[in-house]
């Protein structure tokens, strides 16, 4: 009698997707905590606010912000490929999303390092540290381009991936349409400050929903 090998083949991909979805959820929670605790950015960061945070500022960026963004976008990219049934369009969307997410995550972490260095009381006094923060606010050393470029690549990749998902019919038909429409509206229509955090929470929920549908997608 020949032993069946169907079980390992069918359960391992499922287990991998469950693990990936778990990572996605953890990353989204990390991003939310990071967003709620990071200093407000209004064309620059306040030296006094940064100094009050102290070492916690770099810790937030190193262990929550950077990794949270990176893992969430790479996981989303993989789920888009899964939902598109690995179509060419879906793979393109996934690659663009993951590349954009990687560049963005590295850039925002790199951006935080000079601020963390400037507010270290063991290195600089109050006047010197304040001057360094002001200088970095005025000239962020070319990091604006990779941050903005990464954001554009992420948005473009997700839209391409969702079009592939729509064509693959692996989610309710309304889901990709709603996500694309929401992304376009929120990018084109300026939001009042009171809606910035609720909008961000909705974005995280939608990324989580992509993972959820990817977890439940039928296997062909």
- The pLDDT tens digits for 163-190 are 999 999 999 999 999 999 998 888 888 8
Global pTM reads 0.89
Mean pLDDT for 188-200 is 88
For residue 95, is it within any domain?
Answer: yes
Mean pLDDT for 17-44 is 93
pLDDT at 60: 94
The gap from C-alpha 184 to its chain's centroid, in whole angstroms, comes to 17
pLDDT at 201: 96
pLDDT at 9: 46
Mean pLDDT for 22-40 is 95
The gap from C-alpha 186 to its chain's centroid, in whole angstroms, comes to 16
For residue 4, is it within any domain?
Answer: no
For residue 2, is it within any domain?
Answer: no
pLDDT at 220: 56
For residue 3, is it within any domain?
Answer: no
Both structure tokens of 134 = 């002001």
Total of domains in the chain: 1
Q: What stretch of H or E contains 52?
A: helix 47-53
Mean pLDDT for 99-127 is 93
| Count of other CB atoms within 10 angstroms of residue 27 | 25
The whole-angstrom separation of Cα 57 and Cα 116 is: 7
Secondary structure E strands in the chain? none
The whole-angstrom separation of Cα 207 and Cα 79 is: 10
Mean pLDDT for 71-81 is 98
Q: Which residue shows structure tokens 């793979």?
A: 91
The whole-angstrom separation of Cα 154 and Cα 41 is: 21
Between the alpha carbon of residue 188 and those of residues 59, 120, 182, 215, the distances in Å are 33, 39, 10, 31
Neighbour-count burial of 154, counting CB atoms closer than 10 A to its CB (0-12 exposed, 13-18 middle, 19+ buried): buried
Annotate 66-118 with three-state secondary structure. Answer: HHHHHHHHHHHHHHHHHHCCCCHHHHHHHHHHHHHHHHHHHHHHHHHHHHHHH
Instruction: Give residue 198's domain range.
Output: 12-216
For residue 1, is it within any domain?
Answer: no
For residue 5, is it within any domain?
Answer: no
- The pLDDT tens digits for 119-161 are 998 898 889 999 999 988 888 777 889 999 999 999 999 999 9
Mean pLDDT for 65-73 is 97
């Amino acid at each position: 009698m020949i032993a069946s090998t169907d079980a390992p083949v069918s359960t391992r991909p499922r287990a991998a997707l469950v693990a990936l979805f778990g990572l996605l959820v953890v990353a989204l929670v990390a991003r939310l905590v990071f967003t709620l605790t990071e200093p407000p950015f209004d064309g620059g960061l306040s030296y006094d606010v940064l100094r009050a945070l102290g070492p916690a500022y770099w810790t937030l960026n190193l262990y929550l912000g950077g990794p949270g963004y990176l893992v969430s976008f790479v996981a989303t990219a993989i789920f888009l490929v899964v939902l598109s049934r690995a179509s060419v369009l879906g793979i393109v969307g996934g690659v663009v999303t993951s590349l954009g997410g990687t560049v963005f995550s590295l850039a925002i972490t790199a951006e935080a390092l000079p601020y963390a260095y400037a507010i270290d009381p063991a290195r600089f006094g109050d006047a010197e540290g304040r001057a360094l923060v002001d200088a970095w606010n005025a000239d962020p050393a070319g990091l604006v381009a990779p941050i903005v470029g990464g954001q554009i690549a992420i948005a473009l990749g997700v839209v391409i991936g969702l079009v592939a998902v729509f064509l693959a019919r692996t989610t309710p038909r309304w889901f990709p349409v709603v996500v694309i429409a929401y992304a376009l509206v929120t990018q084109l229509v300026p939001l009042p400050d009171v809606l910035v955090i609720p909008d961000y929470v909705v974005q995280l929920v939608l990324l989580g929903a992509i993972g959820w549908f990817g977890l439940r997608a039928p296997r062909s």
